[in-house]
Amino acid sequence: MKPVMIVQFSASEGPGHLGDYLVNEHIPFQVLRIDRGEALPADIHAYSGLAMMGGPMSVNDDLPWIPPLLALIREAVARRIPVIGHCLGGQMLAKAMGGEVTDSRFTEIGWVRAWPEAVPQAAEWLGGHAALDLFQWHYQTFSIPPGAVRILRSEHCANQAYVLDDLHIGFQCHIEMKAEMVREWCGISPEELKGGSDADPAQPMIQSAAEIMHDLDARIATLNQWAGHVYARWAKSLFNPQGMT
C-alpha cells in the first residue's frame, strides 16, 4: 500500500505513539521534516493518508510552507484520503477546511480532563469513554470547520476534537505522547510551566512539572490505549479508500 505521510514541524514533536501504532500494524509511513527544510510534495497522490504533528508555530504565521500545506490538506479531503491532526496539525486541518484559529482565552499545559460529546461519532472514534485525560500544550484554539462534528470538549477549551466526513479527525490535544516526550518537553520549556518565568499565574490550566510528571507512566499507558483506538478507526480508511479519483 502507499505510505502515510507524517508531517513533523519541530524536532521534539515527532510521530510518538502514532509511529509505534503504524509500525505494529505494518502500515508504511514517511516522515516529512518541515523543521529541516524538507519540501512538501506537489500533490497527495503517492500517499494513503496524511498525518500532522504538533509544533510551536501558529497556523496564522507568515511561513512559506503553510499555504502549500493547506492546499495539500484540501486536496487530501477532496480525494477522500484520510487526514489526522494533532494540536498544530488539528489547527491546520481546521483552517484548511474553513475554520478559524485564534488565541485561546485559556492556555492548557499538562493533563486536562475532557468529555466526549453525545454524538454517534464520539462513541465511534473515541471508544465509548465517559471521560478522558488529555495531554495539552497550546495557546491557540480552532473553530469547528463547516460540515465537521465536535466530538470532545474540556472545561476551558470547548473544541478539543472534531470529525469531518467520517474520515478525517483533528485534535487540539496531543494523543501521540510517550513518557519520554513529556519529560523532554518539560525540560525544553520549563519557563512555560506553572511557576516558570513566562507562565501566567492567572491561567488555571497551566501545571507544574511535578503535576505533569505525577503517575506519568500510568497516565501515558491509558492515553496510548485509547489513542490506539483512534488510530485504528482512522486507519480503516487507509485500506478502504472511498471515492478516490
What's the pLDDT score for residue 240? 66
Give the separation between CA 17 and CA 15, rounded to whole angstroms.
6
Residues with Cβ within 8 Å of residue 119, at least 6 apart in sequence: 149, 150, 151
What's the pLDDT score for residue 154? 96
Instruction: Summarize pLDDT for 64-86 with one digit per residue, the tens.
Output: 999 999 999 999 999 999 999 99
Give the separation between CA 75 and CA 132, rounded to whole angstroms.
32
Task: Work out the pLDDT band at 245, boundaries 50, 70, 90.
Answer: very low
Residues 138 and 56: beta-carbon distance below 8 Å: no
Q: Is 218 exposed, middle or buried (0-12, 13-18, 19+ CB in 10 A)?
A: exposed
What's the pLDDT score for residue 241? 55
User: Could you tell me the three cell numbers for 45?
Assistant: 497522490
What's the pLDDT score for residue 128? 85
Q: Strand order of the sheet with strand 4-8? A: 29-33, 4-8, 49-52, 83-86, 168-171, 161-164, 149-154, 101-116, 132-142
Instruction: Summarize pLDDT for 202-222 with one digit per residue, the tens.
Output: 899 999 999 999 999 999 999
Domains and CATH numbers, the chain: 4-239 (3.40.50.880)
Give the separation between CA 160 and CA 131, rounded to whole angstroms.
13
Instruction: Summarize pLDDT for 140-190 with one digit per residue, the tens.
Output: 999 999 999 999 999 999 999 999 999 999 999 999 999 999 999 999 999
Q: How far is CA 213 from the centre of its chain?
A: 21
